[in-house]
Structure 1
């Protein structure tokens, strides 16, 4: 869904979230007089910019948004003025700082209202323009949220244009801005650059185009690093990525050459701010330095851990202060050398310490608890896969009578009719790939897990089915495991649960509709999802991980991504037009769904009010050429392999527009928060949710079964990833679970003047108040002893969908840090 990220850049020319302006704030004081416009510009310095940028190298011109120059057909343009330094604002997160500059520009009284400005950078380096404001003679302040890099004009060959926070639908765009708007769209689409198709995108570029995932391979390293191209094929359909137009790989024209550092092309409006890039880099290096240098790593890291206490040493500050050569070699395959050197330097400093994952905070053995195993399917990091069964799957090898014996007096038909039987299904989509997955020491099954809803609202695991395909000469096998309290059966059951968790963790990481923003996607293609990257090293699916993602995408439908539709699809809810969410939950103690539906309703109401205020009728939606072009682009190009599907919404009514926008906001904010930010709390202790298994569950009569009987715990530990793989994946979960300091959260505005409409600002304030009421209800539910899934045996309050970020206690909890507006990690 990366194509959707075009929204954020095109917002600057107001062609996606469109509004009309009802104010006419003309700064005329007295006819014929000269007026002075005062401006402030906020520039964030990068680490290599120790001193402020000389303002004399930066000039600004202001466009009128109300008065047209008859010669150019654009708004009247002021004279140039250079910036003057006006102070420094330091940030709370260390040495980062923002420099404040000012300008004064004289214009005639008939200049009109400023609505855009040109900025020219004649300095030798780029700078990050955070925001700007222009004050008119009647003390009205016009705001500009820029958040973009401005590169030297020697590179760009043109000035940068920024529009104010006033927005317009196309038919109501002032004539003074019409031509500017058109030119800006042409730049973003590459239509103004005759060489845009063939030339490699430069760092300072701003062109948005699409391409297939043809840059995951690294064939120069050898044929084992060759991967299929994803997208534009019936075999490997996939959403499109941002086009970078790098040169073809030397090994063949189908694959794009890979960058050898982190400087991959991302349009300047989409690149991380200096603070965010610094924090992401620092967090990554901190995590790797911590987990790749404990005292255990001076041993052979290909070995398994000797005890569960040995795994806990990962989180201690005690360490051997060196990285062995074989570790360096492994990291060199995944990281640019300069970053590896930073890790080594950091290790030589003071010891690093990370918190014990919350899953262990109350009880170091709670991860073995069956009820906790079931609870995490409703309130853990992947609460979107479990489904309520209406019929028992006929393809399952489990005898239904064995299930009926564990239904606490219910018959199987009764349990199915009353919604008491649930399944976590990782079987059919995975089964065809197992022979390819189970090479190079990986041991994976296709799995079905059956659970029963107890009278206290918690899920009791009843059976796990693990399947393997046979070879061409033998049939596949399917084994069934049942819960047991002690003995060999209990140990085998624990092994089976680990295989289920490995499948559940893999699907969460690979579902294609949870895509990151452009910059994090670009970084992911360099070190995370590329051939030989982190995911291939840490997931059981290995080198076919992205192919498996493509397989999952075959079943993806946009109209099923909204929370109510998703719950209905999984049998967790039924339609209910009398309910504000449009559905009625069948499982009343389902923390993700309960909290999520309240947030969904709040988002949808806010979106509906916004759209209804500016689009007066359905015809105004249908006639908005830019809106229709944007939605067509998403369907026919961004998701080109699915453009003929009949389930796409046709945005021709207010209701279809509201549903589409609500779905986009939900996926990028609340759903992502629920899935992403609890990863360290739950997955940070690999025995609870391993990412891969190195051994199968042993068969009776085999040498492996004898090894298992001798020491079940040791066999379990040998089944887990080795030291290097486990350290790497825990470091990854630590990075993914962190928020950056400049995150903008749901219900929080980017700046005081984020939109020039008092009515919309008032409605947004109501949305924010609604979120506060929701968070109060979340806390109340967490205190309710009858809602056992909200804490469970692990005693972790469910706060992954808690919106507030203001209180100090919420900042200290790993799973209670607010809902970011967008996917940026």
Structure 2
């Protein structure tokens, strides 16, 4: 005690009694971008020495004491400037659960900073920073040490700070303390409000890389009418004909040919499409590499392979030819190889064109053919992938027979199914159709209504395909048995005459009927593949989540607890969506080249968005709506699955309720009553903007939650997190291992079912495998497609998985931190349970004939790459 008193007296004699020193540590990133090879001096930010002196100034802002601001009311008092001092170390640490897209790699440093503190400042709640360099730097964190009465205070910044002249106001960062708007200290209220206004922008002009503006636009940037009418595409969003979620605004000028279409970036600028800088892919993620890879595959490799395959046979003649892609590779002529090597980024070149003595186009072997190269052709595997593949969200229980259509008969004529009970009962193990419907054992994969209205236009292109209905029977062993496939196409005399349909059924292996049955399954696979990419994947995760990202940044302060909850689940989404609009889903892009709806792909996704509802994205609601589950108070979670061995649903429900429990614990800490929710001004503005702007074409839908109760908030946040994490993981990260072998999941078909008396039918009789391969995706589109999905199916080296955060001090509130730790422990239990179930031979759908265990909802992945497991926090690829 005497020693302590002596120290205090010494300090008081050394300086004024109400002043003391607060030391801090500032972590900054000094590289801008892994491909900024021409800006190396700027990347180093003028050298380390220029970080010192007065190049970067910081001012603490009081959370307790206010001072009048001319015309601005009251604001927290601002302390004296402090500057970065000596560098403490170079940060290279990357740890699981803390590795983020913005984690500081080699080239980032920790600096010391010393603030003069006095009672007029009190406890700091924020700090202002001014960058006087000519180039931006990445500010990760500021940690204040030994703050009187507080100990350490953490500021999690994770933001690029541009030179001061780029901003109207100095950048402000708040401490990691969360506040509801009504509970914000008076000293921080104006700063909170002004920061939100800065992020909204003024809605005018073309946005630049340093702008921090989150705003909305229609999907009016997919077409390129200046290149000609073949590249024109309709504007998606803002009309009853083509409704769509909104995307981030870039403000680019209109095209010359159409004032309603935004001009497109040139090839050289294609990676510089605007998104707010902090939404850009970061350092330790392979983001810039991946983005470059996408551009190269589409813009360079596409053209070069087109040239290659125009001069060589453009077909696989046998399944052995396809297998060579993975075991031997396709030899690339040296002239083309050199041309590609000169154009493509070196890392992409290593990934796509591997050399083992000879230049080869070679890919990793997909797991669907790793153990058995032909098990994918079995009926059991065909059906199993509806439960455990990459599109396991479409199968429904058939509750009436025959299947009916909701298409307008005045427009499309009769569209009811032509499948008969007699056709099904051949394979129902002695049961009748009525008995299996009553026993809840009849299921359907139905793409008829979704695809039929576009078939006439689709089939006017090089695509030749059908709308399909597939009926399946749940056997006592827990697997599904396909009973019949109905393929339909428009009547040649007009839509009003209804569909021309034909029914196909399983047949004895080796017979011509069996070969026809294999083709029928391929047409179903084409439907499923296209619907998966356009609707299940792009629309239901990427496109629908982007308005939530924008609204959260515009309406919820970083101080808001819901902002802190949702932030990890928005990482990189705007960036990957922007790249997709630029090079994947645009007119003439890779999606139109490789998926059967061709130029009508995005237009069709807009029409199907009409059926999208937010509440139905909740997994329990979705399962009940599809008839896959029934309410059962005696069952876990109050639901009973009618297909007990349904891997996606079994694992998904565990993940769903773990998320919901975590969200409940978190939100209940900040919202003690329903009135706290209904009176939260920022929350209400956020929800209003999502409904009326972000998903504005559905603003009058009656199904939106009213956001007046705690339960409304919990359910809403759970749905958002589920979509961004688990749902996206389930339908994305298995793409390569299921669809990387194209015969298993063909993405398009080029001719109709062979008819007797034709040369195609004669070929089917003599060489059914050749006919199969000539019907589905051609060699060029196959190579292009799997080049893409190999990239998109990979986890990056710094993936942040569900149950992990990018910083351990993301909030200063102890109870939410403990709730999050509990969430992580629960996910660990789920992981172990998944692995145990995959080893249980009674659960035949978890592994299947292909011996590919279901791990797509295993929360983490031990390594990066093509692991087919792991749930990233966000739609980040």
Residues 291 and 89 of structure 1: CA distance in aligned 2, closer, same or farther (over 3 Å): farther
Per the alignment, in what secondary structure is the counterpart of residue 165 of structure 1? Answer: coil
Q: CA deviation at 1:81?
A: 2.5
> Structure 2: how far apart are the matches of 1:120 and 1:213?
36
> Structure 1: how far apart are the matches of 2:788 and 2:16?
62
Query: Which digits, 9 at most, give the CA deviation of each residue in 1:269-293, with x for residues without a partner?
Result: 2122133323423664897899998
Counterpart of 1:472?
Answer: 493
1:474-513 matches, cutoff 5 A: 476-484=499-507, 485-511=509-535, 512-513=539-540
Task: Name which of 462, 465, 472 aligns with 1:451.
Answer: 472
> Structure 1: how far apart are the matches of 2:703 and 2:453?
27
Task: Name which of 18, 25, 29 aligns with 1:43.
Answer: 29
Per the alignment, in what secondary structure is the counterpart of residue 463 of structure 2? Answer: coil
Check whether the contact 1:148–1:271 (CA below 8 A) recurs between aligned residues. no
Residues 183 and 301 of structure 1: CA distance in aligned 2, closer, same or farther (over 3 Å): farther
> Structure 1: how far apart are the matches of 2:853 and 2:427?
29
> Structure 1: how far apart are the matches of 2:115 and 2:453?
68
TM-score, normalised to structure 2's length?
A: 0.84
Check whether the contact 2:218–2:237 (CA below 8 A) recurs between aligned residues. yes
> Structure 2: how far apart are the matches of 1:679 and 1:814?
11
> Structure 1: how far apart are the matches of 2:333 and 2:160?
38
Mean Cα deviation higher: 362-371 or 275-284: 275-284
Check whether the contact 1:120–1:159 (CA below 8 A) recurs between aligned residues. yes
Residues 681 and 661 of structure 1: CA distance in aligned 2, closer, same or farther (over 3 Å): same
Task: Name which of 591, 613, 619 aligns with 1:557.
Answer: 613
Check whether the contact 1:44–1:274 (CA below 8 A) recurs between aligned residues. no
Per the alignment, in what secondary structure is the counterpart of residue 37 of structure 1? Answer: strand
Counterpart of 2:185?
Answer: 174
Residues 673 and 307 of structure 1: CA distance in aligned 2, closer, same or farther (over 3 Å): same
> Structure 1: how far apart are the matches of 2:516 and 2:317?
19
Check whether the contact 2:308–2:336 (CA below 8 A) recurs between aligned residues. no
Task: Name which of 20, 36, 48 aligns with 1:34.
Answer: 20
> Structure 2: how far apart are the matches of 1:44 and 1:799?
38
Query: Which digits, 9 at most, give the CA deviation of each residue in 1:213-258, with x for residues without a partner?
Result: 1111101111100011111111111111111111011002111111
Check whether the contact 1:470–1:476 (CA below 8 A) recurs between aligned residues. yes
Q: CA deviation at 1:339?
A: 5.5
Counterpart of 2:261?
Answer: 255
> Structure 2: how far apart are the matches of 1:347 and 1:421?
44
Check whether the contact 1:147–1:273 (CA below 8 A) recurs between aligned residues. no
Task: Name which of 213, 219, 234 aligns with 1:213.
Answer: 219
Counterpart of 1:124?
Answer: 134
Counterpart of 1:357?
Answer: 366
> Structure 2: how far apart are the matches of 1:383 and 1:345?
33
1:355-504 matches, cutoff 5 A: 355-392=364-401, 393-394=403-404, 395-472=416-493, 476-484=499-507, 485-504=509-528
Counterpart of 1:19?
Answer: none
Counterpart of 1:67?
Answer: 65
Check whether the contact 1:210–1:243 (CA below 8 A) recurs between aligned residues. yes
Q: CA deviation at 1:610?
A: 1.1
Counterpart of 1:90?
Answer: 92
Mean Cα deviation higher: 157-166 or 468-477: 468-477
Task: Name which of 103, 110, 128 aligns with 2:113.
Answer: 103
1:197-212 matches, cutoff 5 A: 197-212=203-218
> Structure 2: how far apart are the matches of 1:590 and 1:247?
49
Are residue 814 (structure 1) and residue 867 (structure 2) matched?
Answer: yes
Q: CA deviation at 1:508?
A: 1.2
Check whether the contact 2:847–2:853 (CA below 8 A) recurs between aligned residues. yes
Per the alignment, in what secondary structure is the counterpart of residue 250 of structure 1? Answer: coil
Q: CA deviation at 1:466?
A: 0.5
Check whether the contact 2:795–2:865 (CA below 8 A) recurs between aligned residues. no
Are residue 615 (structure 1) and residue 671 (structure 2) matched?
Answer: yes
Q: CA deviation at 1:140?
A: 2.3
Q: CA deviation at 1:200?
A: 0.8
> Structure 1: how far apart are the matches of 2:306 and 2:261?
41
Task: Name which of 33, 44, 51 aligns with 1:55.
Answer: 51
Q: CA deviation at 1:697?
A: 1.2
> Structure 2: how far apart are the matches of 1:239 and 1:117?
36
Counterpart of 2:158?
Answer: 147
Task: Name which of 759, 763, 766 aligns with 2:822.
Answer: 766
Query: Which digits, 9 at most, give the CA deviation of each residue in 1:640-698, with x for residues without a partner?
Result: 11111111111101111111111111111111111110001101100000111112111
- Output the aligned Cα RMSD: 2.9
Task: Name which of 240, 245, 250 aligns with 2:246.
Answer: 240
Check whether the contact 1:301–1:723 (CA below 8 A) recurs between aligned residues. no
Query: Which digits, 9 at most, give the CA deviation of each residue in 1:582-630, with x for residues without a partner?
Result: 3221111000001110111111111111111111101110000110110
Counterpart of 2:411?
Answer: none
Per the alignment, in what secondary structure is the counterpart of residue 111 of structure 2? Answer: strand
Query: Which digits, 9 at most, give the CA deviation of each residue in 1:448-487, with x for residues without a partner?
Result: 0111111110011111111010233576421111112221
> Structure 2: how far apart are the matches of 1:705 and 1:326?
39
Q: CA deviation at 1:812?
A: 7.4
Structure 2 residues without counterparts, runs of 5 or longer: 1-11, 405-415, 544-572
Counterpart of 1:595?
Answer: 651
Counterpart of 2:548?
Answer: none
Residues 376 and 222 of structure 1: CA distance in aligned 2, closer, same or farther (over 3 Å): same
Mean Cα deviation higher: 69-78 or 211-220: 69-78
> Structure 1: how far apart are the matches of 2:519 and 2:746?
11
Per the alignment, in what secondary structure is the counterpart of residue 514 of structure 1? Answer: helix
Per the alignment, in what secondary structure is the counterpart of residue 756 of structure 2? Answer: coil
Residues 756 and 205 of structure 1: CA distance in aligned 2, closer, same or farther (over 3 Å): same
Check whether the contact 2:27–2:108 (CA below 8 A) recurs between aligned residues. no
Per the alignment, in what secondary structure is the counterpart of residue 689 of structure 2? Answer: helix
> Structure 2: how far apart are the matches of 1:769 and 1:290?
45
> Structure 2: how far apart are the matches of 1:341 and 1:253?
39
Check whether the contact 1:561–1:667 (CA below 8 A) recurs between aligned residues. yes
> Structure 2: how far apart are the matches of 1:346 and 1:95?
23
> Structure 1: how far apart are the matches of 2:459 and 2:313?
18
> Structure 2: how far apart are the matches of 1:348 and 1:238?
38
Check whether the contact 2:18–2:118 (CA below 8 A) recurs between aligned residues. yes
> Structure 2: how far apart are the matches of 1:774 and 1:661?
21
Residues 721 and 353 of structure 1: CA distance in aligned 2, closer, same or farther (over 3 Å): closer
Query: Which digits, 9 at most, give the CA deviation of each residue in 1:423-461, with x for residues without a partner?
Result: 101111111101111133211110001111111100111
Are residue 78 (structure 1) and residue 84 (structure 2) matched?
Answer: no
Length, aligned pairs only:
783
Counterpart of 1:514?
Answer: 541
> Structure 2: how far apart are the matches of 1:522 and 1:60?
34
Per the alignment, in what secondary structure is the counterpart of residue 450 of structure 2? Answer: coil
Query: Which digits, 9 at most, give the CA deviation of each residue in 1:137-194, with x for residues without a partner?
Result: 458222222222222223334432222221110000011110000101111112xxxx
1:691-710 matches, cutoff 5 A: 691-710=747-766
Check whether the contact 1:279–1:740 (CA below 8 A) recurs between aligned residues. no
Mean Cα deviation higher: 279-288 or 698-707: 279-288
Per the alignment, in what secondary structure is the counterpart of residue 750 of structure 1? Answer: coil
